C-alpha cells in the first residue's frame, strides 16, 4: 500500500509540475504577443503630462482623445479608409473568388499545361513582390497584351497603351487572374481542401445534370466553408496591411497603411501649432493613436469570426 501510494503521489507531482510549466509557457507567450497591443492601447490615451510623469507607467492619470482627433485630421483618415476599401478590400474579395475557381480546376481536372500552372503557383508563393515590382510597374503604366497595342501605336504614331497607375484596376486585374497578393498561397489552400472532398458528391451532381460550374457553385463551394473562411480572413488582413504595393501603385490615393507609414513628425508639429485641439499632446501618443485606429477594424473582424476561423485551420490544409 505504501509503495502504491508513493507511486501515485509521484505521478501527481509530475503531472502538477508539467501543468505548471505549461501554464507558465502559455502565460509568458501570451504576454509577449499582447504586450505591443497593450502598450499602444494605454499610451494612445495618455496626455503629454503623463509622459513626463515618472509615476505613470501603465494607468494614465487622465484619459484624452485629442490625439485621435489630430491623427484623423493630419492623415485625412476617412478618405484613406475609403481608398482602402475601394482598392484593397475589393481586390481581396475578387481574389478570393478567382482563387477558389482556379483551385477547383487544378484539384479536380486534368488538362494540358496543368504542371506548368502548378509550377507558376509555387513561384507565386516563393517569389516576393519586390523582385518583380519594376516590370510590373512598367507593365501597368503602359498596359498591353502581347505587344498588340504597342504595334498599333507604332502604326498610327500615337501611344494608345492605357496607364493604370493610381486606378483600382492595378489591383483588380491581378486579383481577377489569381496572381494578386498571396494569390498562390490561397490557391494552394483551396486546392488542398478540394482534394479531400469526396468525389461522390460531384458524381451525383453530374448524374442529375449539373455541369462543372453548377457543381462548383451548388456543391463544392458550400462544402468548403472552413477553407473559405481561412482564405477570406487571410486575404482581408494581408490586403489591409499592404503598404508596399499600395505605395508603389497609388501615389495620389493613399490607403490607411500608407498614410500611417508616411506620417511625419513635421506634419504633426505643424498641426499642433496651427491651433488643433492637441496643444498638450505628445507626438508619440498621436502616432500610437493612429496605430490603434488602424488595427481596430481587423480586431472587430477577427472577434466576429474567430470561432469559425480557429476551427477551419484544422481542415484547410495548413500544417507546420
The pLDDT value given to residue 281 = 58
Q: Name every residue whose Cβ is closer than 8 Å to that of residue 166 and which is 6 or more positions away in sequence.
A: 249, 250, 251, 252, 253
Q: CB count, 10 Å around CB of 244? A: 15
Q: Which of 33-42, 89-98, 204-213, 274-283 has the highest mean pLDDT?
A: 89-98
Average pLDDT across the chain, whole number: 81
Q: Which CATH architecture has domain 76-262?
A: Orthogonal Bundle (1.10)
The pLDDT value given to residue 98 = 92
The pLDDT value given to residue 154 = 80
Q: Is the Cβ–Cβ distance between 282 and 48 less than 8 Å? A: yes
165-174 per-position pLDDT tens digit: 888 899 999 9
Pick the more confident residue, 252 or 102: 102
Q: Name every residue whose Cβ is closer than 8 Å to that of residue 194 and which is 6 or more positions away in sequence.
A: 103, 104, 107, 108, 220, 224
The pLDDT value given to residue 272 = 59
107-151 per-position pLDDT tens digit: 888 888 888 888 888 888 888 888 888 888 888 888 887 778 878
Distance CA 116, CA 129 (A): 20
Pick the more confident residue, 95 or 313: 95
Which of the 8 DSSP states describes residue 147?
Answer: T
Cα pseudo-dihedral 143, 147, 152, 155, rounded to 10: 130
CA angle centred on 171, ends 162 and 115, rounded to 5°:
100
Using the Cα atoms of residue 52, residue 37, residue 256 and residue 296 in order, give the sign of their dihedral. Answer: negative
* Phi, psi (rounded to 5 degrees) for 177: -95, 0
Q: How confident is the model at residue 317 (pLDDT cuts 50, 70, 90)?
A: very low
The pLDDT value given to residue 94 = 94
Distance CA 54, CA 272 (A): 24
C-alpha cell at 131: 523582385
The pLDDT value given to residue 264 = 67
Q: What is the largest CA-CA distance in the chain?
A: 102
The owner of cell 485630421 is 73
The pLDDT value given to residue 85 = 93
Distance CA 87, CA 253 (A): 9
C-alpha cell at 245: 504595393
Cα pseudo-dihedral 212, 213, 214, 217, rounded to 10: 120
CA angle centred on 315, ends 312 and 320, rounded to 5°:
100
The pLDDT value given to residue 320 = 37
The pLDDT value given to residue 192 = 87
CB burial class (10 A; 0-12, 13-18, 19+) of residue 49? Answer: middle
The pLDDT value given to residue 275 = 55
The pLDDT value given to residue 72 = 86
Q: How confident is the model at residue 96 (pLDDT cuts 50, 70, 90)?
A: very high
The pLDDT value given to residue 278 = 47
40-82 per-position pLDDT tens digit: 888 888 776 777 777 777 777 777 788 888 888 888 889 999 9
The pLDDT value given to residue 319 = 42
The owner of cell 500552372 is 117
Task: Say if pTM beats, i.e. exceeds, 0.75.
Answer: yes
Res. 297: pLDDT tops 70? yes
The pLDDT value given to residue 7 = 65
Amino acid at each position: 500500500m505504501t509503495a502504491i501510494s508513493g507511486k501515485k503521489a509521484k505521478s501527481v507531482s509530475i503531472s502538477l509540475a508539467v501543468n505548471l510549466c505549461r501554464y507558465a509557457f502559455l502565460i509568458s507567450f501570451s504576454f509577449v504577443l499582447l504586450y505591443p497591443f497593450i502598450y499602444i492601447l494605454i499610451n494612445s490615451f495618455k496626455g503629454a503630462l503623463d509622459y513626463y510623469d515618472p509615476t505613470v507607467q501603465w494607468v494614465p492619470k487622465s484619459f484624452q482623445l485629442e490625439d485621435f482627433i489630430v491623427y484623423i485630421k493630419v492623415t485625412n483618415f476617412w478618405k484613406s479608409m475609403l481608398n482602402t476599401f475601394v482598392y484593397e478590400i475589393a481586390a481581396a474579395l475578387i481574389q478570393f473568388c478567382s482563387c477558389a475557381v482556379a483551385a477547383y480546376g487544378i484539384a479536380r481536372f486534368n488538362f494540358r499545361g496543368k504542371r506548368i500552372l502548378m509550377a507558376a503557383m509555387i513561384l507565386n508563393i516563393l517569389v516576393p513582390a519586390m523582385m518583380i515590382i519594376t516590370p510590373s510597374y512598367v507593365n501597368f503604366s503602359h498596359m498591353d497584351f502581347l505587344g498588340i497595342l504597342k504595334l498599333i501605336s507604332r502604326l498610327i504614331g500615337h501611344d494608345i497603351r492605357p496607364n493604370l497607375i493610381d486606378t483600382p484596376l492595378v489591383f483588380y486585374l491581378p486579383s481577377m487572374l489569381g496572381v494578386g497578393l498571396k494569390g498562390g498561397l490561397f490557391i494552394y489552400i483551396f486546392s488542398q481542401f478540394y482534394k479531400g472532398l469526396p468525389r461522390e458528391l460531384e458524381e451525383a451532381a453530374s448524374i442529375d445534370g449539373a455541369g462543372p460550374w453548377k457543381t462548383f457553385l451548388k456543391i463544392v463551394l458550400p462544402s468548403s466553408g472552413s477553407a473559405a473562411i481561412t482564405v477570406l480572413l487571410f486575404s482581408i488582413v494581408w490586403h489591409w496591411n499592404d503598404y508596399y504595393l499600395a505605395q508603389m501603385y497609388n501615389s495620389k490615393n493613399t490607403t490607411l497603411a500608407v498614410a500611417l507609414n508616411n506620417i511625419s513628425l513635421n506634419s504633426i508639429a505643424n498641426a499642433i501649432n496651427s491651433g488643433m485641439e492637441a496643444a498638450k499632446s505628445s507626438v508619440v501618443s498621436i502616432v500610437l493613436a493612429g496605430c490603434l485606429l488602424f488595427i481596430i477594424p481587423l480586431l472587430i473582424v477577427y472577434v466576429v469570426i474567430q470561432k469559425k476561423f480557429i476551427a477551419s485551420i484544422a481542415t484547410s490544409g495548413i500544417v507546420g
